[in-house]
Amino acid sequence: RLVRTVKTALLSVLHERHPREEVLATLLCEVEYSVNSRPLTHVSVEATDDEAITPNHFLLGGSARVPLPGTFTEKDIDHQLQWRRAQYLADLFWKRWLKEYLPELQYRREPHGRGP
């Protein structure tokens, strides 16, 4: 289910787009980080409670916040444009993935008399 939603969101984001290899690699890293940032346990509303465990806790040894991007010089303008393009695609993916994945997490009761 999770893989399907990621693939569907990526297909819709990349439809009719042909990013460079570097942009695609950056996008896939952003997607990986985003998907692995989802909580695996209950998320408490209390500020004093521990944070929810995510796959990134196991993969990276903690929540591993993404560092802010560095500063760019004029000679880095092409790289900056490519990075911005990757960030734009990552934003599109995130919006699409949330729209498709979150509804699947809602608990739906079976109508009376159906199911086990």
Q: What are phi and psi of 9, to 5 degrees?
A: -65, -40
The string of pLDDT tens digits covering residues 43-83 is 777 877 778 888 888 887 777 666 555 555 656 556 777 78
Residue 84 pLDDT: 82
Mean pLDDT of all residues belonging to the chain: 77
Q: Based on C-alpha coordinates, what's the Rg of the chain? A: 18
* Secondary structure letter of residue 76 according to DSSP: G
Confidence of residue 2 (pLDDT cuts 50, 70, 90): confident
pTM given for the model: 0.62
| C-alpha–C-alpha distance, residues 64 and 109, integer Å | 36
| C-alpha–C-alpha distance, residues 54 and 62, integer Å | 8
| C-alpha–C-alpha distance, residues 32 and 40, integer Å | 15
